[in-house]
Amino acid sequence: MKPRPAAALQRRTRVPVRVSRSPADTHRIAAGIIPCGRDSRDLYLLLEGGLGAGKTEFVKGVARALGFDPAAVHSPTFVLSAEYRRPGVVLHHADVYRCPSGVPADAVVRDVLEDAAADAAAGARTVACIEWADRLSAAARRAFVRRGVRCVLVKIRQDPADGARRIRVERLS
């Protein structure tokens, strides 16, 4: 019998896919990944999905879980990033879909990460949500993982057959 390569022996982990059929479902799924208690400090969410997939709706669910009014959360597509603050909690929300000419997506995200790190150093719980994370360079994506903060990849796909959203949440660090 031929030995199997070490890579083939590694166990593959199945990442469950959650199904959302409404904004309320999406909010519940998002709230379910916000850590509580001892792990409640900082979190970075890298969101991927096509136009209209529900990335901003997902961020609204995160905002609700953090105590913000989700109606106040809007896609920062044209302003690139937005912050929502309340005592002890900061939500950073960036959208790199329409980075203007000469402004790389990585630079926008670097600014958001620096702001989030400063807020965390000041004692605030920080959550950073980055929409269109698939437009970031591999180096920028690795920077999230190396920061020592919980980092989660959220992939959202809308099923054209039934309109439901398939949400895959995968912890990166």
| Interaxial angle between packed helices 138-146 and 105-121, expressed in degrees from 0 to 180 and rounded to the nearest 10 | 10
Over residues 122-146, mean pLDDT: 84
Over residues 159-170, mean pLDDT: 92
Q: Which tokens go with 52?
A: 């209209």
H-helix or E-strand spanning residue 113: helix 105-121
Q: What is the pLDDT of residue 7?
A: 42
What pLDDT band is residue 172 in, cutting at 50, 70 and 90? confident
Residue 3 CA to chain centroid, in angstroms?
40
Over residues 111-124, mean pLDDT: 87
| pLDDT of 74 over the 70 cut | yes
Q: What is the pLDDT of residues 4-43, one digit of tens each?
A: 444 443 344 567 899 999 999 999 999 998 876 545 568 8
| pLDDT of 50 over the 60 cut | yes
Lowest mean pLDDT: which of 22-31, 69-78, 103-112?
103-112
* Nearest-angstrom CA–CA distance, 74 and 77: 9
The amino acid that residue 120 corresponds to is A
Name the burial class of residue 145, with classes exposed (0-12), middle (13-18) and buried (19+) by CB atoms within 10 angstroms of its CB.
Answer: middle
Q: Which tokens go with 7?
A: 């890579």
What pLDDT band is residue 121 in, cutting at 50, 70 and 90? confident
What pLDDT band is residue 173 in, cutting at 50, 70 and 90? confident
Global pTM?
Answer: 0.84
**Residue ranges of domains in the chain, CATH in brackets:** 41-171 (3.40.50.300)
Q: What is the pLDDT of residue 42?
A: 83
* Helix (H/G/I), strand (E/B), else coil: 109: helix
